[in-house]
Amino acid sequence: MSAVTSHAIATDALNGIFTLQTVRARQPKRRDGGGFDWRWTGPNSDPEWAWFFNRHGWFPDLWRAWETTHDERYRAALLSTLTDWISTNPVPWHFSFSSGWRPLEAARRLLGSWLPLYEGIVTVCSASQRAWFEASLADHGRHLRRHHALNGNHLVTEMLALVRLAVCVPRHPLAASWLAYGLERLDRTYRKQVYPDGAYKELSSHYQRIVTLNYQQLLETLRSAGRDDLVAVWAPRVERLWIYIRELTTPAGFNPLNNDSDREPYESLLRRHAPALARRSTSHSVHFPWAGQTVFRDETNREWGFFDTGPRGTDHDHADHLAFIFAIGCREFLVDNGRHTYAPGPWRDYFSGPAAHNILLLDHRPSEQGPRAVGAAPRCITFRRSRDYALAWGDGVFASNENPRAGDWRRIVLHLHGLGLVVIDRLVTFGAGRLTTQWHWHPGCALPDAADLTRGLFVNHGETGVRVLFSTTLQRCGVTECFSGRTLPSPQGWYSDRYNQRRAAPVLLHHQPISGPVTNAWLFLTDTTRKTTVEMLSCGSIELYVEGIRSFVVHPGKPGETHCSLEKVIP
């Protein structure tokens, strides 16, 4: 954060104005004539506002403004607000979901505000204020020790806060026990909630960042405390988390918006916290067998794709099994649409539901989403990589009210380096139905209002473009819709890369009436100059011919039964 931005936040705070999760509002005062209403849920009646407000994230900005300008208003505002909060928010002696004492808020308040300012506050406040402050710190420690979350990213944050508090106030009678307990729970939680391939089990890039930064803080705390024995244990663990982040990073330096996620600067985080890893170039595709995720990448790091075939995630999951997204250089094309909100309602249903993802729907239903987590890596390998291509596949099952296995689906993604990406969907079903393929595009992409897939279409994002080709085993191509920003009868065609914000974004929906097995092939070609054709062979395989280069035959296999394979044919 720049000094100018920090000073603006502090000045706003003097006037009772705050910006939380992109929403700006004036915080009301209590009716008793005292300070802020700590329970106010913001202009959108969202409990997230009250939780974030009680984290006191603007306290460091007030402190920096006072140090920079020596304007006593900033110091006075910080101390009076701190005293008011302590006096009006006594610690509960039970688990609380309140705005002030939900354990996560207690932890965030310590980590982001109170502990970083501890040394400064105790030197400038009065004796009575210091006594209140230190007593409240002890209340935080006891509350986190007794009422912490049982699992998930909340537990990691809460135990990190307990450890940091113990290190900050080592003379407190309970500090040693807080430290031992927090370290033990952080160790147990890592072993339980992080896959061997470095993916945090919620499988959200946003919460991967939170958990990674928390464990990075733990590592830095141990180093500053001189605990070399524990540093030796935690350094490779934290590195594993950062390696996973590095492999997911897009060519533009950001994260995929899988599950509940916002757009975040992954590359900048790597350079700041793991510079040695950031300097190691990532120039090939990689598969994470535990997470069930494949990241496609060519040697120039221009072509990038993300394919999700694994478990749904232990929390913050979306209905996105077998979803696929891709980018070319700094331009995103097919996207995951983000999270937008946690408030229950049609918008939450849309962004977390199947309509917002690049998947198939059979009679308006998604495939079964599978387990939340796995206890072992899959026995069969669903990934192949060579010098000029990478191939990955995954299977899904569709159910209906009458049939728990109405259709078997295999999705195959083939990356031909320098040429583009190919998505092959094979559906095995023997009943009549309606198959819908959904492709969600970045808001910056330009699509025609009426797409003729028999001729292909060009999609441009700025100066970068891809050519889209479609082929099917059905005699009729189907019906295609292209639109953006629909709200009725239900939301469709929306994108959110930041919480509380959304934008209209193009979506292509392709509908096909089916009465039996079908195979569809979608080509997203980055090389738009070469003639490329697709032929559905009678044996069920798919032949891809690229003019003047080579021909590939994809043998899709049977969903849930046999492997997929690729045969390269030299013309």
Tokens of 159: 């135990």
- Write down the pLDDT at residue 570: 60
447 and 321, same domain (yes or no): yes
C-alpha pair distances (Å), 339 with each of 352, 491, 528: 7, 14, 33
Tell me which of 191, 215, 247 is where a domain ends.
191
369 and 497, same domain (yes or no): yes
Distance (Å, rounded) from C-alpha 298 to C-alpha 416? 9
Tokens of 221: 């705390």
Tell me which of 128, 163, 191 is where a domain ends.
191
32 in a structural domain: no
166 and 312, same domain (yes or no): no
DSSP annotation of 27: P
Q: What is the pLDDT of residues 401-410, one digit of tens each?
A: 888 899 999 9
- Write down the pLDDT at residue 412: 97
347 and 487, same domain (yes or no): yes
229 in a structural domain: no
154 and 293, same domain (yes or no): no
38 in a structural domain: no
458 in a structural domain: yes
C-alpha pair distances (Å), 242 with each of 88, 215, 274, 287, 552: 41, 10, 7, 16, 35
181 and 316, same domain (yes or no): no
Amino acid, res. 55: R
294 forms beta bridges with 287, 307
* Cβ–Cβ under 8 Å, residues 137 and 175: no
- Write down the pLDDT at residue 477: 86
Distance (Å, rounded) from C-alpha 459 to C-alpha 440? 12
Distance (Å, rounded) from C-alpha 24 to C-alpha 318? 28
- Write down the pLDDT at residue 78: 97
185 and 295, same domain (yes or no): no
C-alpha pair distances (Å), 142 with each of 109, 269, 286: 15, 32, 44
- Write down the pLDDT at residue 353: 98
CA proximity to 333, closest of 445, 252, 413 = 445
Tokens 């506050």 belong to: 121
502 in a structural domain: yes
Alpha helix locations (H) across 40-198? 47-53, 59-69, 72-88, 103-109, 118-124, 127-147, 152-168, 175-193
259 in a structural domain: no
Distance (Å, rounded) from C-alpha 297 to C-alpha 256? 14
- Write down the pLDDT at residue 558: 86
Tokens of 553: 């035959």
482 forms beta bridges with 508
Number of domains in the chain: 2
In the chain, helix, strand, coil percent, each to 5? Answer: 35, 25, 40
pLDDT per residue as tens, the chain (571 positions): 677 689 999 999 999 999 999 999 999 999 988 899 999 999 999 999 999 999 999 999 999 999 999 999 999 999 999 999 999 999 999 999 999 999 999 999 999 999 999 999 999 999 999 999 999 999 999 999 999 999 999 999 999 999 999 999 999 999 999 999 999 999 999 999 999 999 999 999 999 999 999 999 999 999 999 999 999 999 999 999 999 999 999 999 999 999 999 999 999 999 999 999 987 777 799 999 999 999 999 998 999 999 999 999 999 999 999 999 999 999 999 999 999 999 999 999 999 999 999 999 999 999 999 999 999 888 788 999 998 899 999 999 999 888 889 999 999 999 999 999 999 999 999 888 999 999 999 999 998 876 678 788 999 999 999 999 999 999 888 999 999 999 999 999 999 999 999 999 999 999 999 999 999 999 999 988 888 889 999 888 999 988 876 788 999 988 887 789 898 876 5
- Write down the pLDDT at residue 529: 82
366 and 481, same domain (yes or no): yes
Element (H, E) at 395: strand 389-398
DSSP 404-469: TTSEEEEEEEEEETTTEEEEEEEEE--S-EEEEEEEEB-TTEE--SS--TTT-EEEEETTEEEEEE
175 and 293, same domain (yes or no): no
- Interaxial angle between packed helices 228-248 and 205-224, expressed in degrees from 0 to 180 and rounded to the nearest 10: 160
Q: Nearest 5°: phi and psi at 435?
A: -105, 130
76 in a structural domain: no
513 forms beta bridges with 434
Amino acid, res. 344: P
19 in a structural domain: no
521 and 393, same domain (yes or no): yes
306 and 452, same domain (yes or no): yes
Tell me which of 171, 191, 211 is where a domain ends.
191
CATH, residue 397 = 2.70.98.70
Instruction: Encode 92-122: b = buried (16+ Cβ within 10 Å), e = exposed.
Output: eeeebeebbbbbbbbbbbbbbbbbbbbeebe
434 and 322, same domain (yes or no): yes
Distance (Å, rounded) from C-alpha 470 to C-alpha 454? 7
Question: What domain range is 103 assigned to?
Answer: 90-191
Dihedral sign of CA atoms 378, 383, 384, 387 in order? negative
Distance (Å, rounded) from C-alpha 508 to C-alpha 437? 8
Distance (Å, rounded) from C-alpha 310 to C-alpha 208? 16
Q: Nearest 5°: phi and psi at 55?
A: -85, -10
CA proximity to 458, closest of 471, 449, 450, 448 = 448
